[in-house]
Amino acid sequence: MRADRRHHYRLIHRSTYRYSAPVTSSYGRAMLTPRDGGGQHVHRSGMQVTPRPAETAQHLDVSGNQAAYFHVAQEHDVLEVLAQALVTVSRRRPDLTALPALSWESAVADVSAMRATGQGRNGEGPASVMTIVESALASPLAAPEDAVLEYALSVFHPGERVTDAVVALCDRIHAELEYRPGTSSTDRTLADVLATRSGSCHDYAHLAVGCLRSMGLAARYVTGFVRDGERLRGAGRAHAWAAVWVPGGGWIHLDPSNGGLVDHRYVVLG
C-alpha cells in the first residue's frame, strides 16, 4: 500500500445495447456514478449516451445513490452508455477486533428496538435509522426462505460475536458455492442458488443478504468495482457484495465471492 494510503482509480464503464430492429425511443435509468464518502472521494464523473438523448436528469435516490435518467428520441439500433470517473479510495480493511464486542443477538435486538422506537442507541439520525430498519426487511431477491434460514443457522451460534458470525457466513458461502459469472437471473430464488450451490457474484451477495436478514440483522446489497490486476473474482468488471450493520461500528462490507472484507481495492457505486 502506498505511504499516503490513498489509491487513485480511473473508471471506465461501457454498456452497449443492440436491437434486432430500429427503435424510435429509448428510456434509461443508470447508476454508474460512484458514491462520495465512506472512504472514497469522487473528483469528477460523467456519462455520455449515444445517440444523444433528448432529455436527461440526475438525482440522489433514497439510499443516497446517484441516479441518472435519459430519453433517446431518435431512431437507432444501437444504444451506448459510457460512464467515466476519477476516484480516490482511502478505505482500509476493517479491524474487527476494534469493533464493539457484542453478540449477534444483541445486534438483532438493537435493530428490533429501532423498528419499535425509531431511535438508535448510538446517536444514529433519522435517515440512518430508516436505512437500518429497511435493510432488515425481506425483499424479492433476498427472501428469508426456510432453506436460507437453515443455512444461516449453521454459523450463527448462540452468544457468538456478531463479527465472527458474519465472517463465518462469508467464508462458508465462498467455500461452498461454485463461482459462475453471468448466471444470475431475477427468476432464480435463493433456494435455487442453494440447491445448485452455484451462481455469480450477484447470487453470492443476495444469499449473504438473505441469510443476514433472516437472522434479524440489517444487511444491504452493494454494487461497484474491484481493482483490475488483482487475483479476485470480478476484478476489472462490475461486481457485487454485501454490507451488514454492526451497532456502534457502522456498516461492514464483506465479499462472499472472494471470502474477505472490502478494502481499498473496491470502489462502491451504490
The 10s digit of each residue's pLDDT in 65-85 is: 999 999 999 999 999 999 999
Residue 38 three-state SS = coil
Q: Which of 57-66, 86-95, 162-171 has the lowest mean pLDDT?
A: 57-66
Residue 223 CA to residue 234 CA, distance in Å, equals: 11
Is residue 157 within 8 Å of residue 168, measured between CB atoms?
no
Based on DSSP, count helices (H) and strands (E) in the chain, helices before strands.
6, 13
Cell of 231: 487475483
For the cut 90, the answer to whether the pLDDT of residue 2 exceeds it is no
Beta strands 178-179 and 198-199: pairing type? Answer: parallel
Cell of 108: 438483532
Neighbours of 259 (CB within 10 A): 17
Q: Please, what CATH class does the domain formed by 96-268 belong to?
A: alpha beta
Q: Where in the chain are all domains bearing CATH 3.10.620.30? A: 96-268
Q: What percent of the chain has pLDDT over 90?
A: 80
Q: What's the mean pLDDT when you consider all of the chain? A: 92
Beta strands 40-50 and 76-89: pairing type? Answer: antiparallel
User: pTM score, two decimals?
Assistant: 0.91
For the cut 60, the answer to whether the pLDDT of residue 99 exceeds it is yes
**Nearest alpha-carbon partner for 63 in 252, 262, 223, 239:** 223
Which of the four pLDDT bands, split at 50, 70 and 90, describes residue 160?
Answer: very high
DSSP 97-152: GGS---BHHHHHHHHHHHHHHS--TT---HHHHHHHHHTTS--TTS---HHHHHHH
Q: What is the pLDDT of residue 184?
A: 63
φ, ψ of residue 159 to 5 degrees: the values are 75, 0
Residue 55 class from Cβ within 10 Å (0-12 exposed, 13-18 middle, 19+ buried)? exposed
Q: What is the pLDDT of residue 185?
A: 65
Is residue 133 within 8 Å of residue 114, measured between CB atoms?
yes
In this prediction, residues 178-195 reach a mean pLDDT of 82
Is residue 213 within 8 Å of residue 138, measured between CB atoms?
yes
Q: How far lies 36's CA from each of 33, 43, 172, 195, 235, in Å? A: 9, 9, 31, 38, 21
CATH of 7-89, one of 3.40.50, 1.10.20, 2.60.40, 3.30.420: 2.60.40
Q: Where in the chain are all domains bearing CATH 2.60.40? A: 7-89
For the cut 60, the answer to whether the pLDDT of residue 175 exceeds it is yes
